[in-house]
Amino acid sequence: MSRIQLLSPRLANQIAAGEVVERPASVVKELLENSLDAGATQIEIDVEQGGMKLIRLRDNGGGIEEQDLPLALSRHATSKILVLEDLEAVSSLGFRGEALASISSVSRLTLTSRRSDASTAWQVQTEGRDMEPVVSPAAHPQGTCVEVRDLFFNTPARRKFMRTEQTEFKHLEEVVKRLALSRSDVAFQLRHNGRVIHQLRPARTEQDHERRISSVCGPAFIDQALSLDMTAEASGLRLWGWMGLPTFSRSQTDLQYFFVNGRIIRDKLVAHAVRQAYQDVLFHGRHPAFVLYLELDPKLVDVNVHPTKHEVRFREGRLVHDFIFRTLHRVIADVRPEGAVPPAGTSPDAGQLAASAPGASGQSFEQGRMPLSQAPLGPSADAGAPHSPSTQQGGGFQGAAFQGGGYRGPSASVVRDQISGYGALHVPANSEQDAAQQALANAQAQGEVAPPLGYALAHLHGIYILAQNEQGLVLVDMHAAHERIVYERMKQAYETEVVRSQPLLVPLSMAVSQSEADCAEEQAAVFQRLGFELSRMGDESLVVRQVPVSLARGNIEQLIRDVLSDMITYGQSQRIENHINELLATMACHGAVRANRQLSIPEMNGLLRDMEITERSGQCNHGRPTWTQLSLAELDKLFLRGR
């Protein structure tokens, strides 16, 4: 082995660059973050050949003093932190003091800057293996300009990893989009080979903010997104932004932006909380879209986890997970026809959570106008079968009876009974055709707000319900809508009923790690509530004696292992509930009224009223939409009818 020697500053910087400067996009990320940290309100980015030939970024921020310029390009030099305590509560995007040094070691970098109180601008470059800074006067308005030419010209290995101009530009554009989303109050301009690609004006109002989201994420997203803003007073956590409706799902995770104190992050804990919130409203294999901002005391989050700062560590991980999950879950649960009010007891604290679809009318729907939820429905369940709680609540679904200790799917006869129960709602009218018209007119005459989904007109091919509401025509997929109603009722019934367990013929012994065994012991009450009897046998072994009846045929061992792993990582697990919900969903799907069953007008009206009070009624259990609205204006457009 050769003797130990000190590396030259350039080589040391080149090694450090390996971690943060992967491609032109990473250079743009670092430069943009510096501009934002410098308080810029206007940023222009010029790029040639996907950033491989040139990246020039100009801002109107605070600028750098002449004496500080040489330091700006040296490693371990920063104006953002000074002592260890600062590192524990970082409020700027940068703090490592090495981005510019790294970039300038693998490119031809020129930094020009002028502070507002300086009479002239100054410029700095580095030379040689020692990266000696050379400062000279220059002409420049207040702010900073960084020019990066010929990236990786001196590191051929890295150069080889660069892709085509188009690919590199796509990555770079994505970085600009992320930062543009993180700071709507800042103006951004991006030019590629002389052509303007993005021109984003600063947002001052809520509307401007939505416009920024729309130009970055596409207008379809904002049209189908729910806005939310939730603050947890006690912990000082705030979550706000937009979440795509479950029906606006994507095949990829490409429209997912999560910012923590203005920094975009990819975090396992956050991803898990979001996934769980969308659980059971998304079509299998689809991904949600969202732009969400989490704000919390910088002391509660460690950003010094990875050189690229894409990861963070929350000091109160469980609390954050729980807050994100609960907030998003609540917003999704409230997706139902506009104007409908949630059933009593399920509404969020109105003072804290404000979630609305863009353009939501905010009208309230009187509980008194929902006869189905009040009136008992159809004949009572078969003799001998204990009543499900939904029966006692007067809910429309009675099929999910607990028989023989476990859930059985609702039988065909029960479904028939239930559907015929909708007949209790008869809207008196001369003929079925004008029943809807009359009901709407009656409602208006009495100064009442008509139900959001209106009144049924007809049943099309035994599949779609056509209804008329104030806006125009409502189309409902009968099976999908009923499936969601049945499913939500079954879940409610299951939650309020004591879960039934059954003893295993042969108790199941499981070898686990010590931390898993500790966790199982600590969480014994949780397992018990879900129908498991689980005890510790030794340092590293568990024994399972009872399991929930509905899961008795599943792979119990695997389920328990997964649950323990979730509990250790995220502080909680929804796996058991998810498995039970999956089962219920399958039963609901089979139990829901099938296509080609002709419904009468009162039956259809009953279904519409039920949809209005059912959580998540905008999608069926597979994430498909259950209904859609065609306004009179849209109908007029179809017929080229000028109004």
Ligand X SMILES: Nc1ncnc2c1ncn2[C@@H]1O[C@H](COP(=O)(O)OP(=O)(O)OP(=O)(O)O)[C@@H](O)[C@H]1O
Assess 94 for contact with ligand X (CB under 6 A). Answer: yes
Among 63, 396, 410, 531, binds ligand X (CB under 6 A): 63
Among 17, 25, 55, 100, binds ligand X (CB under 6 A): 100
Residue nearest to ligand X (CB): 94
Residues 130-149 contacting ligand X, CB under 6 A = 144
- CB of residue 11 to ligand X, shortest distance in Å: 18
The Cα 47–Cα 172 span in angstroms is 9
Cβ closest to ligand X, residue 97 vs residue 389: 97
Assess 79 for contact with ligand X (CB under 6 A). Answer: yes
In this structure, how many other beta carbons lie within 10 angstroms of the beta carbon of residue 289?
Answer: 25
- CB of residue 148 to Mg ion, shortest distance in Å: 13
Assess 96 for contact with ligand X (CB under 6 A). Answer: yes
Cβ closest to ligand X, residue 310 vs residue 622: 310
Among 38, 467, 547, 576, binds ligand X (CB under 6 A): 38
In this structure, how many other beta carbons lie within 10 angstroms of the beta carbon of residue 454?
Answer: 24
Among 28, 47, 95, 468, binds ligand X (CB under 6 A): 95
Q: Which does 95 bind (CB under 5 to 8 A by kind): Mg ion, ligand X, none?
A: ligand X
In this structure, how many other beta carbons lie within 10 angstroms of the beta carbon of residue 550?
Answer: 23
Among 24, 50, 51, 61, binds ligand X (CB under 6 A): 61
| Residues forming beta bridges with residue 59, ordered by sequence position | 43, 144
Chain-centre distance for alpha carbon 570: 17
Among 43, 90, 99, 476, binds ligand X (CB under 6 A): 99
The Cα 247–Cα 212 span in angstroms is 22
- CB of residue 156 to ligand X, shortest distance in Å: 24
Q: Which does 579 bind (CB under 5 to 8 A by kind): Mg ion, ligand X, none?
A: none
Q: What's the token pair of residue 212?
A: 């920024």
Cβ closest to ligand X, residue 34 vs residue 110: 34
- Residue 536 is classified by DSSP as E
Which residue in this structure is represented by tokens 């330091």? 71
- Enumerate binding residues for Mg ion (CB under 5 A): 34, 94, 99
Q: CA separation (Å) from 257 to 188, 207, 221?
A: 18, 19, 12
Assess 578 for contact with ligand X (CB under 6 A). Answer: no
Among 10, 30, 112, 243, binds ligand X (CB under 6 A): 30
Nearest by Cα to 318 from 239, 235, 196 = 235
Residues 166-205 contacting ligand X, CB under 6 A = none
- CB of residue 97 to ligand X, shortest distance in Å: 4
Q: Which does 80 bind (CB under 5 to 8 A by kind): ligand X, Mg ion, none?
A: ligand X
Binding span for ligand X by CB under 6 A among 71-79, 266-274, 380-388, 447-455:
71-79
Q: What are phi and psi of 268, to 5 degrees?
A: -60, -45
Cβ distance 134 to 124 under 8 Å?
A: yes
Count of residues of this chain found to bind ligand X when the rule CB under 6 A is applied = 22
Cβ distance 267 to 311 under 8 Å?
A: yes
The Cα 348–Cα 342 span in angstroms is 9
Binding span for ligand X by CB under 6 A among 78-86, 116-124, 434-442, 593-601:
78-86
Assess 64 for contact with ligand X (CB under 6 A). Answer: yes
- CB of residue 338 to ligand X, shortest distance in Å: 46
Assess 477 for contact with ligand X (CB under 6 A). Answer: no
Tell me the CB-side half-sphere exposure of residue 286, using CA atoms within 13 A: 19
Please report, as a single letter, which amino acid is at residue 555.
Answer: N
Assess 80 for contact with ligand X (CB under 6 A). Answer: yes
Pairing mode, if any, of strands 290-295 and 256-260? parallel
Assess 623 for contact with ligand X (CB under 6 A). Answer: no
The Cα 445–Cα 54 span in angstroms is 69
Q: What's the token pair of residue 624?
A: 């498909």
| Residues forming beta bridges with residue 407, ordered by sequence position | 402
Q: CA separation (Å) from 238 to 88, 225, 229?
A: 20, 19, 7
Q: Which residues bind ligand X (CB under 6 A)?
A: 30, 34-35, 38, 59, 61-64, 72, 78-80, 94-101, 144
